[in-house]
Amino acid sequence: MYILIPNKINPTRYKKVKKQMITLGPPIIECIQVSDITFYALEGSHRITCAKELNLIPILNIITNLEDADNDDTLYIIKQNINVRINKGLVIEFKG
């Protein structure tokens, strides 16, 4: 599974989030499903990245599936932004 994260990681914030996740476990992430294995996170860059390091699989709260969506301006913008996130390296891979 691939999760496209919205933002670059701030090291100071990352350390705080990681400490919390060691206790709290996997994060719940709001996302849009792009394909069978790709998800566009609407938030949670630090939590997703920490989950990867801690070998936790995020719990995905899927808002909508782009493959099933009608033409919609907001979804069009998201589709355009997918490649931007990939090109910037804002993608986290989870196996399992």
How far, in Å, CA of 42 to CA of 57, rounded? 17
Domain residue ranges in the chain? 2-93
Judge whether 18 and 50 are in contact, CB under 8 Å. yes
Judge whether 14 and 46 are in contact, CB under 8 Å. yes
Question: What is the number of alpha carbons within 13 Å of residue 22 lying toward its C-beta?
Answer: 5
DSSP state of 55: T
- What CATH number should be reported for the domain whose range is 2-93? 3.90.1530
**pLDDT for position 64:** 75
Position 81, amino acid: N
pTM for the full model?
A: 0.86
pLDDT tens digit sequence for 44-96? 999 999 999 999 999 999 987 666 555 667 777 777 888 889 999 999 999 96
pLDDT tens digit sequence for 2-22? 999 999 999 999 999 999 999
**pLDDT for position 6:** 92
**pLDDT for position 2:** 96
